[in-house]
Amino acid sequence: MGSLKTTQNTLASSSCLLPTPTSPTASVSESNILPTSDTTLSGLSALEGLKFDIDDDNDGGVEVQSPDMNSEQDSGLQLVHLLLACAESVAKSDYPAAHRHLYQLRQIVSPLGDSMQRVAACFVDALSTRTRLSSTTTTPSTSNSTSPPPPFPPPPHELHKLYQIVYQACPYIKFAHFTANQAIFEAFEGESRVHVIDLDIFQGYQWPSFMQALATRPGGPPSLRITGVGAPIESVKETGRRLAELASSLRVPFEFHPVGVRLEDLRPHMLHRRVGEALAVNSVNRLHRVNGAQLGPLIGMIRDQAPNILTLVEQEASHNVPHFLGRFLEALHYYSALFDSLDATFPAGSVERLRVEEGLFGPEITNIVAFEGAERVVRHEKLERWRKTLEGKGFQGVPLSANTVAHSKILLGVYSSTGYRLTEDNGCLLLGWQDRPVIAASAWRC
């Protein structure tokens, strides 16, 4: 792992630095900020125009109505039909039929093919896992599996490598960090003592650009304290040491407080809240993994800290519906768009792309499709649901500023593909591929 100075230089070259806000109170007004494109890639085009009628009350079946398709779409359409037929068989516990469909699918999918074949390969693995687990247990579980799927999340050392690949190749993580950082930066305007609680500190990638922005703030930087939540504690402490090294080089007064517990076990006394400091709570792609019964109390505890701002970035998908077929179809749409965007980003035959698809997104898909109960930890919710959840706990939305929009457009302009879309939803920003939102950023206060 490189030094934080190396990470700082990498981030600086990725257009994630925050400028001094010019109009922090201006809100987003654009409803479709980037122009549309006629580009259609294989994963989404195979799903485009299909009409689905799902009996989701009891996972009883799915009917597919197909439009007229050209010959180039035939293979993708065949994959979709076979995947849905297999999913329906699994939902009905008709495992002999599911195995027949899986056999057919394995003859035509390839992790090295076009984007539809690649995403289909991940779903075939996920359906195979669910079929194998369900044949021995009523509720899918790893307890009776002799060949468990890859763990999710991946081990920290592997996740770090995959994260670096995605960070450099795609705008999604940069967009998440930039929008959150800008909202926090604006909320801290004029404050002399500031405190950020990062609910998933990981390697601390988000904070070098933020610290650089504070260092150049008119009147000098404030005193910055970061509380980093994560595990294992040794990794969190190492992240703190690297951030402290950077802060010293930038002459930003800095403290780091490591909290090595699961987010579900976080308690108020662990946060060391101090009187007179402005507080921001930051969550990027983390809250969806908190169990539903524990999410409400956690958000309530965050509210009780009276933060100046809560920044939330989450995948824009409904992967927490209780019925299997609806969840399967939503996941197929979502990851087809995501894999299409990778197709436009990575060169043909990219080994790094294969590592990301098989090491990161593949295990996500398997967790969504193959598991139930507490073992299904990938529970993405759409912005609408997060809005209801947060408003129900006393939060109100803070519109992301026009300055945030402008610089998000600049960030996306770095990428050669025209398929990325930036849209607005009541002061929140969504980044997507073609017409499918992939990630949503929002800010809140109580």
pLDDT for position 155: 82
Mean pLDDT on 18-33 = 37
Query: Is the residue at 400 inside a domain?
Result: no
pLDDT for position 7: 34
DSSP category for residue 283: E
Peptide bond into 232 cis (omega under 30): yes
Pairing, β 436-445 against β 428-433: antiparallel
**What's the rounded Cα separation, in Å, for the pair 179 and 173?**
10
Query: Is the residue at 274 inside a domain?
Result: no
Residues 131-182 pLDDT 10s: 999 876 544 544 344 455 666 777 888 888 999 999 999 999 999 999 999 9
**Count of domains in the chain?**
1
Query: Is the residue at 387 inside a domain?
Result: no
Residues 345-370 pLDDT 10s: 998 789 999 999 999 999 999 999 99
Query: Using 50, 70 and 90 to split pLDDT, how confident is the model at 25?
Result: very low
**Which element (helix H / strand E) includes 445?**
strand 436-445
**Which element (helix H / strand E) includes 157?**
helix 156-169
Query: Using 50, 70 and 90 to split pLDDT, how confident is the model at 279?
Result: very high
- Under 8 Å between Cβ of 31 and 423: yes
Residues 129-141 pLDDT 10s: 999 998 765 445 4
% of the chain exceeding 90 in pLDDT: 73
Query: Is the residue at 415 inside a domain?
Result: no
Residue 398 has pLDDT above 60, yes or no: yes
pLDDT for position 60: 53
Query: Is the residue at 397 inside a domain?
Result: no
Q: What is the pTM of this model?
A: 0.84
Query: Is the residue at 58 inside a domain?
Result: yes
Residue 24 has pLDDT above 90, yes or no: no
Query: Is the residue at 122 inside a domain?
Result: yes
Query: Is the residue at 365 inside a domain?
Result: yes
Residue 5 has pLDDT above 80, yes or no: no
Which residue in the block uniquely carries the two structure tokens 């990638």?
A: 205
Bridge partners (DSSP) listed for residue 63: 53
Mean pLDDT on 407-420 = 91
Domain that holds residue 337: 42-156+321-375
Closest by CA to 179, choosing from 10, 313, 308, is: 313
Better-scored residue on pLDDT, 411 or 155: 411
